[in-house]
Chains A and B, each alone.
Chain A
């Protein structure tokens, strides 16, 4: 655990290298959202969360994280490997036959660090609320974190969960939305407008924070603020303003790299922009 932003940025650079190499390696997967959410997951796993890589499903006494937008599995797997949940060499098996690193995260292959399958969107907030309720029943004061895509908010189940949590004072929960404004078919504005997300979550009874999701200093201060607001009767949601594809110039700000793999030349171009800091897998 560290609050040294230079160290965290260095980890983020390696994670981004892993992401583009993993997606290139199997010529499938989702680099755009993975790159955009890298900084937040680095901030969570290497600074904000108290967690144990000696993985235990029940996670008693530790903070839990649920990835609801499971298609950004490359960033999740890289983070888990660098955090010590499994050997980073296993990243090379991503999406290949027999792998524990399935296209979307699953508990089915018993990969340490994964507590629920995700991929079919909209389900992770409900799961996190259940886990948060279990923590309350167990008198476990640790926290539950989630991450969702902004396009994912088009799923109705999200709003069922959004209504439940404030009514039941689930105040040990910090959700985050990756507000990159993009989804498969184009911008969220064109596909199905999300409207004023701050106002929406506030109206549902959540304590809403907003930050720049690709700025490590802002992320640390926002997470510290979010943690300080737990235990006060309200669930917390952080609107992360990110850029899809962040860190690789030709992947940034477009939905075109949502689910497309780079070719050899594009891989080389991307890796030229991302410093190898912890050693490639």
Chain B
């Protein structure tokens, strides 16, 4: 197991804030909008640097999405900022008609996604957003795993022509990816090569997958860990290449098991290479109040659950091989 360490921890939303500032410096067409959550989205530095390119919309997300679509007419590259819940479910029709169907170059940037929003509870903990966004034709869906990757992804989407959903979060988590990485949309990142089981993880679950890989290694199980930061377009080639080696799969995500990364992977496998797959995801329920750590444990989204899922997947692979004899 390749060793991953960290010297610092930060929230992925701060990676977004840093990336937005950098994207703004590189291209003066980049503009930003926020619906009364500047501090939560870490947009202060962009606003200080480019006050005339920032639009405070107030608590009016539908108007913000429509305005973002309009700003593209005239060549702007708008980044909208609010919580994931208000970035997707609240404004689904505005995104569908004015952004996705109209193919507008809007970057929908969503913080506080998933359970790790914590104490505010289920009203704010959206677990359906990946599904909502990936179903829209032409929408790119990205869920980076740490500060550095989120910063790099934010810079990369400014250079990508087309609508993007960028999902990140609130909690402070280890920084373990390269600060100078070049983020390639749609290209999976090989975290650790292995032979016994493929673990495909996205967002905050990537660090948990690394922890799980170390536990599995101690028990003699060689896990391949791949970071699927781009859920759409999905890197089917990387998924199939890995599964051809390992023969079984675990998917791990901070999302409802319906409609998330796991389902995207399952669709590739079902049509190309049927494979035993185990889900580490929220089991079709809402969240609740609690600390991020408590919630991730209670809802089964941690290293221990990935380890257990990996063992189940390997067992199913072995059983299938035996019954084939």
Asked if A and B are interacting partners, one says yes
Listed in ascending order, the chain A residues whose CB lies under 8 Å from chain B are 57-60, 64, 66, 106-108, 115-120, 122-135, 137-138, 140, 156-157, 160-161, 163-164, 167-168
Q: Which 5 A-B pairs have the closest CB atoms?
A: A130-B70, A126-B66, A134-B74, A130-B67, A160-B60
Number of A-B contacts (CB under 8 A): 121
Judged by a CB distance under 8 angstroms, whether B274 is at the interface is no
Known: A117-B102, A120-B96; 6 extra A-B contacts, CB below 8 A, are A64-B73, A123-B62, A123-B93, A129-B63, A157-B63, A167-B58
Complex-state Cα separation, A132 to B260, whole angstroms: 37
* Cβ A138 vs Cβ B75 within 8 A: yes
* Cβ A58 vs Cβ B74 within 8 A: yes
Complex-state Cα separation, A221 to B96, whole angstroms: 38
Complex-state Cα separation, A112 to B58, whole angstroms: 34
Smallest CB–CB gap between B67 and chain A, Å?
A: 4
Complex-state Cα separation, A66 to B93, whole angstroms: 18
Judged by a CB distance under 8 angstroms, whether B297 is at the interface is no
User: Hey, which chain A residues are within 8 Å of B96, CB to CB?
Assistant: 120
Within 8 A of A (CB), among B66-118: 66-76, 78, 93-94, 96-98, 101-104
Choose from A129, A156, A167 the contact partner of B67 (Cβ within 8 Å).
A129
User: Hey, which chain A residues are within 8 Å of B248, CB to CB?
Assistant: none
Complex-state Cα separation, A134 to B67, whole angstroms: 10
* Cβ B53 vs Cβ A116 within 8 A: no
Smallest CB–CB gap between A67 and chain B, Å?
A: 13
* Cβ A117 vs Cβ B97 within 8 A: yes
User: Hey, which chain B residues are within 8 Å of A129, CB to CB?
Assistant: 63, 66-67, 70
Closest residue to A144 on the B side, CB-wise?
A: B70
* Cβ B73 vs Cβ A157 within 8 A: no
* Cβ A120 vs Cβ B97 within 8 A: yes
Closest residue to A162 on the B side, CB-wise?
A: B63
Judged by a CB distance under 8 angstroms, whether B57 is at the interface is yes
Judged by a CB distance under 8 angstroms, whether B228 is at the interface is no
* Cβ A137 vs Cβ B58 within 8 A: no
Complex-state Cα separation, A134 to B73, whole angstroms: 7
* Cβ A135 vs Cβ B74 within 8 A: yes
The B interface, classified by DSSP as helix, strand, loop or mixed, is helix
Judged by a CB distance under 8 angstroms, whether B65 is at the interface is yes
* Cβ A137 vs Cβ B53 within 8 A: yes
* Cβ A116 vs Cβ B70 within 8 A: yes
Complex-state Cα separation, A156 to B66, whole angstroms: 13
Smallest CB–CB gap between B263 and chain A, Å?
A: 26
User: Hey, which chain A residues are within 8 Å of B94, CB to CB?
Assistant: 123, 126, 157
* Cβ A157 vs Cβ B55 within 8 A: no
Number of interface residues of B (CB under 8 A): 32
Listed in ascending order, the chain B residues whose CB lies under 8 Å from chain A are 31, 52-53, 55, 57-58, 60, 62-76, 78, 93-94, 96-98, 101-104
* Cβ A127 vs Cβ B101 within 8 A: no
User: Hey, which chain B residues are within 8 Å of A156, CB to CB?
Assistant: 62
* Cβ B103 vs Cβ A108 within 8 A: yes
* Cβ A157 vs Cβ B62 within 8 A: yes
* Cβ B52 vs Cβ A137 within 8 A: yes
Choose from A66, A117, A164 the contact partner of B60 (Cβ within 8 Å).
A164
User: Hey, which chain B residues are within 8 Å of A168, CB to CB?
Assistant: 55
* Cβ A130 vs Cβ B60 within 8 A: no
Q: Give 14 A-B contacts (CB < 8 Å), ordered by A residue.
A: A58-B75, A59-B73, A116-B69, A116-B98, A116-B104, A117-B97, A123-B66, A126-B70, A126-B94, A127-B70, A130-B69, A130-B72, A134-B74, A134-B75
* Cβ A137 vs Cβ B98 within 8 A: no
Smallest CB–CB gap between B142 and chain A, Å?
A: 23
User: Hey, which chain B residues are within 8 Å of A66, CB to CB?
Assistant: 70
Closest residue to A135 on the B side, CB-wise?
A: B74
* Cβ A161 vs Cβ B66 within 8 A: yes
* Cβ A60 vs Cβ B74 within 8 A: yes
Complex-state Cα separation, A241 to B59, whole angstroms: 32
Smallest CB–CB gap between B75 and chain A, Å?
A: 5
* Cβ B66 vs Cβ A157 within 8 A: yes
User: Hey, which chain A residues are within 8 Å of B98, CB to CB?
Assistant: 116-117, 123, 126-127
User: Hey, which chain A residues are within 8 Å of B67, CB to CB?
Assistant: 126-127, 129-130, 133, 161, 164
Smallest CB–CB gap between A64 and chain B, Å?
A: 7
User: Hey, which chain B residues are within 8 Å of A132, CB to CB?
Assistant: 70
* Cβ A131 vs Cβ B70 within 8 A: yes
Smallest CB–CB gap between A180 and chain B, Å?
A: 23
Closest residue to B52 on the A side, CB-wise?
A: A137
Q: Of A58, A115, A125, A137, which is in contact with the most chain B CB atoms at under 10 Å from its CB?
A: A137
* Cβ A133 vs Cβ B97 within 8 A: no
Complex-state Cα separation, A59 to B75, whole angstroms: 9
Complex-state Cα separation, A100 to B62, whole angstroms: 27
User: Hey, which chain B residues are within 8 Å of A164, CB to CB?
Assistant: 57-58, 60, 63, 67
Smallest CB–CB gap between B76 and chain A, Å?
A: 5
Closest residue to B69 on the A side, CB-wise?
A: A127
Complex-state Cα separation, A30 to B97, whole angstroms: 20
